[in-house]
Chain A
Amino acid sequence: METLHPVTAVDVADALRSASSRGVDVLPVGGRRHLDKGNPGPVDVELWTTQLDGVVSYEPAEMIATVGGGMRIGTLQATLAEGGQEWPVDAPGDATVGGVIAAGASSPRRLRVGAVRDSVLRVEIVTGDGRIVRAGAPTVKQSAGYGITRAIVGSLGTLGVITEVALKVRPLPRARRAVIAEGPGLDLGAGMLAAVPFAAAVLADPGRVVASLEGWPDEIEEQTDAARRVADVIVDDDAGVPVAVESFPDAPILAEASVAPSQLGAVLDGRTTWRAALGVGTAWVGVRDLDELDALRRRATDAGGIAPVIRGVGGLGPAPAAARDVTLRLRAAFDPAGVLSRGRFWGASFH
C-alpha cells in the first residue's frame, strides 16, 4: 500500500484525478481515531491529510477559525485557547479536524453546544475526480446555495477529501464542574435534566449520573444548587468531559446508538456497559461481539434509530430506506469513479 502526504488542496486534486483515471482506491486518513466508523476495506492508497494543518485565519472577535482539514484537534484547541475560545468537540487530541467532521463525531456536550454539523460554516473539499469545491461562507450565518457543508459532515470520506474548513467557535467556559450522583442513571438523570437548566451534558451510566456544567462561576453554583434539590450529589471541578471513542476501553466493540431521547431506556435495558447523553438521545454502548451488536441494533432499529460502531468491527448498520436514488446520484456526482473510501457505507456486510 502506498501513502500520499499532500500539503495543498492542489496536491490532493492531482492525486485524486490520477486515482480516478486509473481506478485506484483511495482512503483519506487523518488521525485514524474515527477510522473504524464504517470499517473501510483494504485500499491501494492512503491519502494522509495531516500535512494540511495550517491556520488560514483566526479572528477571535469573529468567533470563526479557518484551518486545514488535517489540523490536529489538540493543536486547534491550543490555538483557540489563546483567543479564549474552543471548537466544541471532545475528540482525542491527535484526531484531525477533517476526521471529526467526516465521522460526524459530535461532542458529548451536544445538549448545550450543538452538533458538529452546525459548527461547520464552510468547507473546501476535493472530490473523487479531483475538483476543488467550496461551499458555505466564512460568516456565522449564510443562506446562499445548497447546504453541502452539512452533507459533508458524517459522509465518511465518500464525497470528497476535506482540505479546509471554517469553524464556528465559542468562548471557553470560565469554569467547569461535574456534579455526580450515585443510583440508577436514567431515572436520576431524568430528574437532573429537568432540574438543572442549561447543563452541558447529563450523562447517565447504569449506576450513576454525571451532569457536566460549564459557564460563568456564579452560573455553575446556581446549577449545582438546582442539582442538589433533586439528588445527593458530589462535585468534581477537575473532571473532564469523556471522549466518545475512548469510552469503555476494555470493550472490543463500541457502538454509538442514536434514538429519540425517550427511547434510550428501551435500547439500553438489560445492558451493563453504556453511557447515555440524556435529552440528546446518544448512547455509547460497549459490546463483546457481533451477536451482541446485532441485538443492540435490532433494539435501536425498533426504536427508530441507528447504532453504528465507532470503535472495533461491526460497520454502520442497515441502509436507510429513504431516498436511496438521491444518495446514489450524490455519490456518483462527487466521486464518479467510486475510488473514495471504498466499503465505508451504510448497509455494507462486515462478517
Chain B
Amino acid sequence: MADPAAARRALEAALGAENVLADPLALQLYARDASMVAGSAGLVAFPRSTDDAVACVRAASAHGMAIVPRGAGTGLAGGATPVGDPLVVVSSKMRRILEVRTEDRLAWVEPGVPNLDLSNHLASLGWTYAPDPSSQQTSTIGGNVNTNAGGPHCLAYGVTAAHVLALDVVLSDGTVARLGSEGPETGGYDLRGLVVGSEGTLGIVTAVCVRIAPRPPAIRTLLLDFTAVADAAETVSEVIARGVVPAAVEMMDQGITIAAERFAHAGYPIDAAAILLVELEGLASTVDVQSREVESAARSHGVRTIRVATDDAERALIWKGRKSAFGAVAQIAPHYHLHDCVVPRTKLAEVLTGIYAIAERHDLVVTNVFHAGDGNLHPLFSFDLREPGTLERVLAAADEVVRLCVAAGGAISGEHGIGLEKRDFMPLVFSDDDLAAMACVRSAFDPDGRMNPMKVLPDGARCGDFAAARGHDVARVAADLPAGSWI
C-alpha cells in the first residue's frame, strides 16, 4: 500500500523539508503539464543532486509510490501528468550548466537547465546546441531528452537523440548508471539511445552530456510568401530535390500568420495563403549558392515575394513571429489543442487540405505552423471550452487528424511524444508484437513498473505476452555468460 505520509517524512529527512511539497495547492499545480489532461499528484520533490534523486527513488519504492519525473511541464502529450497520486520529481532545482568543453565538443548540464539558457550560454562562446523546440524559453534539457524533442533546426542537424552523448540516470532500483560516454561509441547496447524519448518511464535523468558545435560563420533567413498552400508545400519538396537541406524550413498558414503578425509585428504578409521561413547556414559561399537554389525553386512555384533578412535584428524579428505563434493564437480563442504528427514531405499539401476539412466538419478554427522540411505538422485547433460540447468536438477532430496522418504513411508523434494523450493511438502504427517489444524495453529498465506508469504504451501491452510467458528468465541467459561479461 502506498504511504505518502511516510514517503514525505523520508524525503524531508533526505532532501530537507523545503524541497518537499504536499500541500493541496502544490499538488494541484503539479497535477498536469501543458496537455489537456489533468491527473493527481501525491507528493512533489525537488532534488538538487543525483543523490537526492536516488533518495526519491528509494523513498517512493519503500513506501509504495510510483514516480513521475518532470521538467518544466511544457509537454503537450501528458507525459508529465501524474496518474494515481505518485511522487512527482521536479528538476527545477537542478539547473546548473556544469561544464562546457569545446575541445571535446560537449557540455554537461543538469536536467533542469532551460534549453534557451544553454543555447544563450553557448552562443556567448561562439558555439551552438542544435535542438531548439518552440518551448525552448521554458522547456528543460531533461524534458527535451525525455521527449526526444525537435525544433526548427532539426531538419539539418537531427533531433535530440543525435545530440546527447551521455546521461546519468537513476534507475528504478535506485542505482545510478552513466549511459553512453563522452566518446563517440560505448560498449554494450545503446541504453542512452533507449532513455532518449522514453518520457520518464526508464529512470530519472540527473545529468546530460550534449554534443555542441561551432556556430556557423554565415546564416541567412528568407521569408517566402505564396498565394496557395500547395505552392509552398511543393517548394519545400523541390528545395530538397535540388540537393539543398536548409537548417530550417518552417511553414505558416494564413490564420497563424495573421495572429503572429498582430503579436510580433514582424512584417509578415497577412494576405498570403502560406509563408515559408527558410534558414540557411554554413560558409558564406554555401549560403549564397543555397539561397539562389531556394529562390529559384520558389519562383518555379509562383512565390509572390522573397524577403531576405539583412541583419541579425531582422532575422530575430522574423523568427520572433514564428516562435511566439502558439502564444499569439490566444487572440483567436482562449483555448487551443496543438497536435504533432509527421507525414511524408510530399504529402504535406494533401494532408493540410484534409486538416482544413476536419476543422470545418467539427466547426473549429484551425491554424497551422510547422516544421515543413521534416513533414512535421502542428495543426492547432482554437476554441472556447466554456461553450458546451466543445471538448467532444476537439477530441473527435484530434482523432481524425491522427488517423489522417497515419493513412498518409506518417508517424503519430514527431517530437511531443505519446504520454497519456496518444497511447491509445499506438496500435494504429504498431502491431501487438511491436508493442510487446517496447514493453520489454520498459520492463528491462523498470521490472516493477514504478516509473511513470500509464504512459506511452496502451493498456494491455506487456512484455510477458512477448517472451516471459514462454519460460525464459534472465538467469538462464546470464548463466551462459562468463562472469563479468556483457552481452
Contacts and interface: CB of A to CB of B under 8 A. Distances in A.
B289 A141 contact: no
Contact of A262 (B104, B217, B409, B444): B104
Contact of A320 (B186, B216, B474): B186
B185 A62 contact: no
Contacts of A145: 418, 426, 430, 434-435, 438, 456-457
A334 B440 CA distance: 8
B437 A133 contact: yes
B286 A304 contact: no
Contacts, number: 324
Contact of B480 (A104, A114, A338): A338
Nearest to B406: A137
Interface string A149-182: 0110111001100000000001110100000000
B412 A144 contact: yes
Given A131-B466, A349-B482, A143 B147 contact: yes
Nearest to A300: B183
A230 interface: no
Contact of B194 (A84, A129, A150, A319): A150
B181 A327 contact: no
A260 B187 contact: no
A308 interface: yes
Contacts of B183: 258-260, 263, 281-282, 304-306
Interface in B157-187: 158-159, 161-162, 169, 171, 173, 175, 177-179, 181-187
A262 B101 contact: yes
A254 to B, nearest CB: 15
B91 to A, nearest CB: 19
A59 interface: yes
Contact of B162 (A114, A222, A256, A316): A114
B330 interface: no
Interface in B267-309: 282-286, 288-290
A333 B469 CA distance: 11
A50 interface: no
B467 A140 contact: no
The number of chain A residues touching the other chain, given as a range, is: 35 or more
A198 B219 CA distance: 14
A312 interface: no
Contact of B472 (A140, A280, A336): A336
Interface stretch (A67-75, A90-98, A201-209, A212-220): A212-220
A3 interface: no
A186 B36 CA distance: 54
Contact of A305 (B147, B181, B477): B181
Interface stretch (A234-242, A245-253, A340-348): A340-348
Given A118-B162, A147-B194, A258-B185, A326 B434 contact: no
Interface in B243-279: 243-245
B473 interface: yes
Given A215-B286, A216-B289, A346 B441 contact: no
A221 interface: yes
A115 B103 contact: no
A38 to B, nearest CB: 10
A243 interface: no
Given A197-B216, A279-B105, A324-B486, A146 B442 contact: yes
Contact of A323 (B177, B290, B441, B484): B177
Contact of A174 (B243, B441, B447): B243
A143 B482 contact: no
A290 interface: no
B379 interface: no
Interface in B209-229: 214, 216-217
Contacts of B148: 143, 147
Contacts of B467: 129, 332-334, 336
Given A129-B470, A144-B418, A306-B186, A150 B487 contact: no
B39 interface: no
A155 B243 contact: no
A216 B343 CA distance: 29
B193 A143 contact: no
A337 B240 CA distance: 46
Interface in B417-470: 417-418, 422, 426, 429-431, 433-438, 440-445, 447, 456-457, 463, 466-468, 470
B162 A115 contact: yes
B361 interface: no
A332 B440 CA distance: 9
Nearest to A259: B183
A117 B426 contact: no
A208 B103 CA distance: 20
Contacts of A146: 194, 197-198, 438, 441-442, 456
A198 B472 contact: no
B285 A117 contact: no
Most buried by A among B149, B178, B416: B178
A328 B440 CA distance: 12
A143 B101 contact: no
A330 interface: yes
A240 B99 CA distance: 37
B154 interface: yes
From A132, A145, A171, A337, name the one whose CB has the most chain B CB atoms within 10 angstroms: A145
A106 B184 contact: yes
B321 interface: no
Nearest to B171: A323
Contacts of A346: 187-188, 485-487
Contacts of A228: none
A134 interface: yes
Contacts of B346: 59, 61-62
Nearest to A106: B184
Given A327-B189, A334-B437, 14 more contacts: A61-B240, A117-B190, A139-B375, A140-B155, A146-B456, A150-B190, A219-B286, A222-B285, A258-B185, A326-B171, A330-B189, A330-B440, A330-B444, A346-B485
23 contacts: A59-B344, A61-B346, A118-B162, A133-B437, A139-B342, A141-B411, A142-B414, A145-B438, A146-B198, A148-B437, A153-B193, A158-B487, A171-B244, A174-B243, A198-B282, A218-B285, A260-B106, A308-B187, A322-B177, A328-B478, A345-B486, A347-B482, A347-B485
Interface of B: 101, 103-106, 147-150, 154-155, 158-159, 161-162, 169, 171, 173, 175, 177-179, 181-191, 193-194, 196-198, 214, 216-217, 237, 240-241, 243-245, 282-286, 288-290, 342-346, 374-376, 409-418, 422, 426, 429-431, 433-438, 440-445, 447, 456-457, 463, 466-468, 470-474, 476-478, 480-482, 484-487
* 6 nearest A-B pairs in the assembled complex, by CB-CB distance: A150-B193, A319-B486, A336-B472, A347-B485, A171-B243, A333-B440
